[in-house]
Amino acid sequence: MVMDSRLIKALQTAHLTIPEAKAYLALWEVGEATVQQLAERASLQRTSLYSILKKLEKRNLVFKTVRKKHTYFIPTDPQHILEDLRNRTEHFAKILPSFVPVYPESSTKPRIYFLSGSEGFKKIWRSVFDSKEKEYLIITDPREMLGFVKRGYIKGTIIKEKLKKGIKSRQLLSFSEYGKKVMEDDAKENRQSKILPHTYRVSCTTIIFGNKVAFISPSPENIMLIIESESFAKSQRTLFEAFWDLIK
């Protein structure tokens, strides 16, 4: 496959190696691919692709999804690269519009992204903010979030980014004194909250945004996933609204 040399050079200024740039661009061309498919399309050795994809995944440039026992890799928005560089290169900003996504028809199929640990927790919130949705819904015991990041990160990074982007949220909180304390900041954090009856205990956090639903299992399980499915997200949103209307 002949790749746009401008894009290769632009990605090099973003500190990607030529093989990494080729792998990323090849993924961008097709929307998703297995390691074997990507090796053929990018003209790279399959054995070397594993380490390349691992590096791209670490930089939040690709996600993994599993479907029918096969692992597929999907590129994230190249805006991540621009943010990481903090606008140090105007060249990449000019070349960014060249990344016009043309996904195959199969890209409309549901996807599942698997994550873990504090980095996975941060990636989920990055996905929420990158979705450009103006409201997200969340069911959680806020104490469980402190198992992944400190309260200072939630306030100083997640909430700060939320307010910067003008995003609203509604949340159903597990009954606790800490939950009541969180509610006190609703007005200044662009949020509405309701406390679930004490008989309903929540340990796994659910975040609904756009056509995606994220699940965060508490520590020490540290299992996280994002399900990208219009019908599944719609069902989860309906359940949330039902609980929301019932709780006064």
CATH 3.30.870.10 fits 111-246, yes or no: yes
106 pLDDT higher than 50: no
**Fold of the domain built from segment(s) 5-108:** Arc Repressor Mutant, subunit A (1.10.10)
Alpha helices (runs of H) in the chain, residue ranges in sequence order? 5-13, 18-30, 35-42, 46-58, 79-85, 90-95, 117-130, 142-145, 151-153, 160-164, 177-183, 230-246
Q: What percentage of the chain's residues is helix, strand, coil (to nearest 5)?
A: 50, 20, 30
104 pLDDT higher than 60: no
Average pLDDT of span 199-219: 90
Tell me the pLDDT band of 173, cut-offs 50, 70 and 90. Answer: very high
Domain(s) of CATH 1.10.10.10: residues in the chain: 5-108
- Give pLDDT, residue 14: 79
- Give pLDDT, residue 248: 79
The answer to whether the predicted template modeling score (pTM) of the entire model surpasses 0.75 is no
91 pLDDT higher than 70: no
- Give pLDDT, residue 89: 57
Residue 161: exposure state from Cβ atoms within 10 A (0-12, 13-18, ≥19): middle
Q: Using one digit for the tens of pLDDT, what is the confidence trace for 17-72?
A: 999 999 999 998 888 899 999 999 888 998 899 999 999 988 888 988 888 888 99
Domain(s) of CATH 3.30.870.10: residues in the chain: 111-246
- Give pLDDT, residue 209: 96
- Give pLDDT, residue 13: 78
- Give pLDDT, residue 186: 94
